[in-house]
Amino acid sequence: MTISEALDRDRVRKLFDLRSSYNALSGGDFREDPYPIWHRLREQAPVHPGVVHELTGYPGSAFFQGLPFEDRPHFSVFGFDACDAAFRDEELFASSPEPVDPTDETVSYTTSLLQMGGARHRRYRGLVQPSFVPAKAKWWIMNWIEEAVHALVDGFLDEGRAELNTDFCAAIPLLTITGSFGVPVEQALTIRESLSDPPKIVSILAPVVAARRESPQDDLISVLVEAELKDEDGVMHRLSDVEIYTFALLLLLAGSGTTWKQMGITLAALLQRPKALDAVRENRQLLRAAIEESLRWTPTDPMFSRHVTQDIDFYGVHLPRGAVAHLCIGAANRDPARWDRPDEFDIHRPLKRSLGFGGGPHICLGMHVARAEMTVGIGTLLDRLPNLRLDPAAEPPRVIGMYERGATEIPVVFG
């Protein structure tokens, strides 16, 4: 059975369509362009009392990291300098309301690397950081990314048309991260469906972890199994099964939940701008610029939250201890104080650091793998699909969603 045959397209579309009930909690049904409102809010002040989706005018409830915490005051940050400062200061802006204990026997996202702070975060991040540095990109590409990308293209190459967002972009990161765990393709979608059911994922990973303890392989679970951590007393020890499962949960959530949307946003932006697409086709060095511009122009996760640890005056607003600060990187990445013509998607724009992958000590661990997935994926499409273009008979893609933004269907024809 090929990779394309093992992936049920209907299941993929249900899981990865932002408009489906599976993604409703993050505001997947939001169809408006939030940027005019975010521009107005940022012009008024870099920091506002309130929650991003409420300030944007979204009428429903939407949840993401840092929400709901109904008993705490909430503030939203829209300026680049203010967001950048909050990301960098983890003492004042903590990633979790309370210190987390990674040795807790409960497998949960709330005890993962994402919620750790200080020395503990640095120790645990250091265990896997070597597998995610730029020099390791080739390891990911050769072992998992290239195989998945070419197998997916093989599945529609003879059809002359395809839907690239869910049938291509969504599958690549999922197959990459589950492949790096040693999980067969047939179980990849089950794992994605079970992100809200950690015990189910543990039941799939447990035999893999046990096997790697007996006989390590060239994969990410083996890296976690063999990693040695120095505790607060200076004693070295290996990760427990629970710690490995918690690491894996975080990597699954991040690896299969964000890159596909950013790849879709990048593809849609290029396909809707034929001159830019032609420029990238002729000069592949511009593909990196297109990806970085996409991360600036429309980051797929436009908001991250931090918990205020002390009473502070922050960019003209008093933030009490215990408040939640929502860092709207979508607005920050279009701050005209940092970028000229910030609403334009311009692949020739001088490269300047954005907050597309966050910032500070918690900057995205897998950002170099994500860049490799997008580079190989889009580059392979341009290599193998001649005259790739949007299907003129279909509805063009649109970017939708509140706290998880992504493209609708990307229907294309080629040949």
Type of residue numbered 296: R
Residue 176 · residue 145 · CB < 8 Å: yes
Partners of 76 in the β-ladder: 48, 326
Main-chain dihedrals φ then ψ at residue 237, nearest 5 degrees: -155, 160
Residue 19, class by beta-carbon neighbours within 10 Å (0-12 exposed, 13-18 middle, 19+ buried)? middle
Residue 148 · residue 172 · CB < 8 Å: yes
Listed residue (254, 284, 288, 268) closest to 176, CA to CA: 254
Listed residue (231, 300, 240) closest to 265, CA to CA: 300
| Residue 197, SS3 per DSSP | coil
Give just the sign of the alpha carbon dihedral 252, 253, 256, 262. negative
Strand intervals (E) in 165-268: 228-230, 236-238
Residue 246, class by beta-carbon neighbours within 10 Å (0-12 exposed, 13-18 middle, 19+ buried)? buried
Going by C-beta distance under 8 Å and a sequence separation of 6 or more, which residues neighbour residue 52?
76, 302, 303, 326, 328, 402, 403
Residue 282, class by beta-carbon neighbours within 10 Å (0-12 exposed, 13-18 middle, 19+ buried)? exposed
Q: What are the structure tokens assigned to 208, written together? A: 């893999």
Asked if the peptide bond before residue 68 counts as cis, ω within 30 degrees of 0, the response is yes
Q: How many CA atoms lie within 13 A of 150 on its CB side?
A: 8
Residue 55, class by beta-carbon neighbours within 10 Å (0-12 exposed, 13-18 middle, 19+ buried)? buried
Looking at residue 22, its pLDDT comes to 66
Matching CATH number, 3-413, of 1.10.10.10, 1.10.630.10, 3.30.200.20, 3.40.190.10: 1.10.630.10
Residue 311 · residue 318 · CB < 8 Å: yes
Looking at residue 104, its pLDDT comes to 59
Domain ranges of the chain: 3-413
Looking at residue 108, its pLDDT comes to 61
Going by C-beta distance under 8 Å and a sequence separation of 6 or more, which residues neighbour residue 295?
262, 333, 354, 356, 357
**Would the pTM of this model clear 0.85, i.e. be above it?**
yes
Q: What long-range pairs does 120-126 form, CB within 8 A, spacing at least 24?
A: 121/90, 121/95, 121/361, 121/362, 122/361, 123/229, 123/230, 124/229, 124/247, 125/361, 125/365
**What parts of the chain have a pLDDT lower than 50?**
none
Going by C-beta distance under 8 Å and a sequence separation of 6 or more, which residues neighbour residue 94?
117, 306, 307, 308, 309
- Please report the DSSP string for 46-111 in residue order: SEEES-HHHHHT--S----TT---TTS-EEEE-SHHHHHHHHH-TTTEESSSS---TT-SS--GGG
Partners of 400 in the β-ladder: 406
CA angle, corner 155, sides to 153 and 158, nearest 5? Answer: 90
The alpha carbon of 220 is separated from its chain's Cα centroid by a whole number of angstroms, namely 19
Q: What are the structure tokens assigned to 202, written together? A: 């543990």
Looking at residue 247, its pLDDT comes to 85
Residue 295 · residue 262 · CB < 8 Å: yes
